[in-house]
Amino acid sequence: MGYDVQEVELRWQARWATDGTYEVENNGTKPTYYVLCMYPYPSGPAHQGHVRNYTFGDLNVRHARMRGYDVLSPIGFDSFGLPAENAAIKSGAHPRPFTDARIEELKASLKRLGAVYDWRREVRSHDPQYIKWNQFIFLRFLEAGLAYRATAPVNWCPGCQTVLANEQVLSDGTCERSGDLVTKRELEQWFFRITQYADELLEGLDELEWPERVKTMQRNWIGRSEGATFRLAVDGRDDVSIEVFTTRPDTSFGMTYVVLAPEHELVDQVTTPERRAAVDAFRERVRSATDIERQSTEQTGRERGVDTGARAINPFNGQSVPIYLADYVLPGYGTGAIMAVPAQDQRDWDFAQAFDLPIVRTVQPPDDWEGEAYTGDGPAINSDFLDGLDVAQAKKQAIEWLVAKGIGEATVNYRLRDWLLSRQRFWGCPIPIIHCPTDGAVPVPDDQLPIVAPDDVEFLPTGESPLRLHEGFLRAACPKCGGPAMRETDTMDTFVDSSWYFLRFCSPWEENRPFDPEMTKRWMPVDQYIGGIEHAILHLLYARFYTRALADVGIAPKELREPFPRYVPQGMIRMDGSKMSKSKGNLVAPEQYFESVGADALRLFHLFVGPPTDDVDWTDQTDEVIEGCGRFLQRVWRLGTDEVQGPAAIDRDPTAEDLEIVRASHRLIARIDDNFSRWSYNTAVAATMEFSNTLHRYIAEGARRETLAEAVDTLLLMLAPMAPHIAAELWAHRHDGAHIHEQPWPEADPDLVAVTTATLVVQVNGKVKDRIEVDAGIDEVEAERIARASEKVAEALNGGEIRRVVAKPPRLVNLVVGPPASG
């Protein structure tokens, strides 16, 4: 009987769907397990990246289920976003039908892959119910002071007369649509106060089972740095002082000038009349410069800054130093002003050189130091009461001095900024605010939620949100005074949608609240989170913030802090050196493999090709490897059907060879358990291949019927999470239609896993001279005796004196010899 891949796979997929095999109730009694793949942006049929992602997820779901858990396996769609809006602008049609069509395509692919979900729990970001609770949460955050309004610059395209997302600005700073140079424009926008959680988000990382490099990325993103802030008097001015932040208060005696960011609020106040024109010209140049230009390291020299004419007093030594503006000081970090210490900071050094400013070393560099600015440790010099102290001591002393003087204190600074969530886009969740001329920004009352964008909108090729032109949407009564007011037309960043969808999955049918905290308690945190590393910073950080904030405003359980204690980032699929993606047009559709070798073979390929976190190169050889996986499954099929077993198997009392097969089966289980726990799926597949080869050899030499049947069953159980269709089909054949995925995961018997014999490697001076089969239980004395008895070893010794014996029974003996004793 041949294996009709298509027929078998489609039949089982239909059965899993109609039986609701992977639907899970919220009132089960088994222990719970929550497996989650990052919900996808619906871009159409699945590509290989999806296949890889959902193969890992599905393996975890099926494996956990067989291990006896109630498994929550939900999926949804991150269905708001720019691509759909762009498609709408291009076609003039509303993004909703476009998005719904893409979702259906992606769903079909996932089902054809054999990935199983509780489809009753499907969540879509653009669903009015989801929008409602998204807005509800925003309003609670607003009440709690976690959301606020402030002005911030946006990318503005003068040609399109519209705001651009960062990804719409090309690397040369021009608009991707019109080619105009993009400028900055200040707008009133909404923020989430994520910085309030900076410390907790940082500390929480320590206990997460995430790859170290992802944690490092988050740590760097949060960017905690300890230092001091202190105030500098402005020479001849009692009314203003400049506050600076530094991580090196120990170097304060080396301050030879002060720098304000060009945007700093004190610039106008301190600039002297004779420098006014030069300062204004500089500020204008910085303002119109693109981020690229401003951050260009090419730029050096005098165009990078300007003298304000004002002077500040260094409180440490009373010296008067000039105040400059420089583009390398950023308005958003620290206090937007620095004390410049060129001897210990290379940027300050370069600037000082360009402007002929003095350089005073306050840390003694090593004797062989040939560089410029020295940032290392060393004794303080030229620093009065700090002289002789090392950097750490000097920092401490300097801060104590500032505190005693009452002009500064130790401070902690973060690189992390508050989360700007406003987007001047149509295809997103509307921000539920009404702007009233008398009452200002007024929250939409809960009973008016959701605020959903209208259907009768016209998409113009300007890129501007059509909400801004829709009178019916715009006009609203102020909830406070009832007067005429205008609706907010900005929508939320789509990262907002993805910051709590995993909580909604726990009780997606809730109509009176975002989710049921009890059900959240039952399922959360997610036991295994899987998704691309491109979300390693923002999505994961935002979701961690949201979870805490929801707990703190009382929507989620108080004790829920970390949503994803265990996260595995899968590697990306590369082709010709770049990421495989729809936009690059280098997709290799999974469908062709579904039709040829089948979903199981393609899944097996993705598991087998390498470690899950490694990138996969799609090459000329890839098709051959996929076919190899298909060939392996054909061999499994022959093992699992009577074709081989019937004529070949023998009824007999068990022999030593038969027992070896039983042992090999248990070793396979132990190995798969270990591999699965370490996410080493490539070696897990290799283990099943090895076992299959063992069984084929066993059959060739005459297999015992019962032993073979049990061994094949074990192989099928191990394959059930990896190649579910063929495993299900063969199991049903062999066990009267029973369902393999409802079988318990077998347990390896330690007695059978333990080896009874081992290969003792005998080395002479570290070189392998002999290999001897020995009893696994031998001790050191016995191992040495066996090693010395070896003829090959005697030959290699060649009369040399054994000076030392290293015995590690039962695996290795190393005989260390000197030269032959000379006569």
Segment 345 to 374, residues that bind RNA, using CB under 7 A = 345, 347
Nearer to RNA, 90 or 697 (CB): 697
Which residues does 592 contact at the CB level (< 8 Å), separation at least 6? Answer: none
| Closest to 40 (Cα-Cα) out of 73, 85, 74, 76 | 76
Query: Could you give the C-alpha distances from 385 to 379, 381, 465, 517, 588, in angstroms and in order?
Result: 12, 10, 61, 58, 69
Selected from 15, 405, 631, 735, the binder of RNA by CB under 7 A is 631
Nearer to RNA, 16 or 245 (CB): 245
User: Closest distance between RNA and the C-beta of residue 333, in Å?
Assistant: 4
Residue ranges in 153-212 that form contacts with RNA under rule CB under 7 A: 212
Nearer to RNA, 329 or 485 (CB): 329
Is 223 a binder of RNA (CB under 7 A)? yes
Stretch that binds RNA, among 122-130, 441-449, 656-664, 680-688 (CB under 7 A): 680-688
Nearer to RNA, 72 or 722 (CB): 722
| 124 secondary structure, DSSP code | E
Nearer to RNA, 689 or 778 (CB): 689
Selected from 272, 621, 655, 798, the binder of RNA by CB under 7 A is 621
Token pair belonging to 320 = 């008067």
Token pair belonging to 128 = 């009015």
Selected from 486, 686, 732, 794, the binder of RNA by CB under 7 A is 686
Stretch that binds RNA, among 151-159, 380-388, 531-539, 708-716 (CB under 7 A): 531-539
Q: How far is CA 94 from the centre of its chain?
A: 32
Q: Are strands 567-570 and 408-413 parallel, antiparallel or unpaired?
A: unpaired
| Closest to 61 (Cα-Cα) out of 720, 783, 767, 727 | 720
Q: How far apart are the first and last CA of the chain?
A: 76
Residue ranges in 326-345 that form contacts with RNA under rule CB under 7 A: 327-338, 345
Query: Could you give the C-alpha distances from 664 to 648, 651, 773, in angstroms and in order?
Result: 20, 20, 18
Stretch that binds RNA, among 377-385, 589-597, 645-653, 808-816 (CB under 7 A): 808-816
Token pair belonging to 215 = 């944690």
Nearer to RNA, 557 or 610 (CB): 610
Question: What number of chain residues touch RNA (CB under 7 A)?
Answer: 85
User: Closest distance between RNA and the C-beta of residue 91, in Å?
Assistant: 31
Is 625 a binder of RNA (CB under 7 A)? yes
Is 583 a binder of RNA (CB under 7 A)? no
Selected from 108, 200, 811, 818, the binder of RNA by CB under 7 A is 811
Residue ranges in 379-418 that form contacts with RNA under rule CB under 7 A: 413, 415
> Which residues are 325's β-sheet partners?
260, 306
Stretch that binds RNA, among 98-106, 141-149, 192-200, 684-692 (CB under 7 A): 684-692
User: Closest distance between RNA and the C-beta of residue 136, in Å?
Assistant: 31
Is 458 a binder of RNA (CB under 7 A)? no
Selected from 119, 136, 221, 618, the binder of RNA by CB under 7 A is 221
Rg (CA), the chain: 34
In sequence order, what DSSP letters do the residues of 185-216 get, joined into one string? EEEEEEEE-GGGGHHHHHHHGGG-BS-HHHHH
- Cα atoms in the 13 Å half-sphere on the side-chain side of 740: 26
User: Closest distance between RNA and the C-beta of residue 120, in Å?
Assistant: 37
Please check whether residue 681 is in contact with residue 56, taking contact to mean a CB–CB distance below 8 angstroms: yes
Residue ranges in 254-313 that form contacts with RNA under rule CB under 7 A: 261, 294-297, 299, 304
Residue ranges in 731-790 that form contacts with RNA under rule CB under 7 A: 759, 761, 763, 765-769, 771
With 0-12 / 13-18 / 19 or more C-beta atoms within 10 angstroms meaning exposed / middle / buried, residue 334 is buried
Cα separation, 646 vs 712, whole angstroms: 13
Nearer to RNA, 117 or 605 (CB): 605
Cα separation, 252 vs 385, whole angstroms: 12
Nearer to RNA, 539 or 769 (CB): 769
Nearer to RNA, 491 or 763 (CB): 763
Selected from 243, 263, 439, 617, the binder of RNA by CB under 7 A is 617
Is 557 a binder of RNA (CB under 7 A)? no
Cα separation, 708 vs 705, whole angstroms: 5
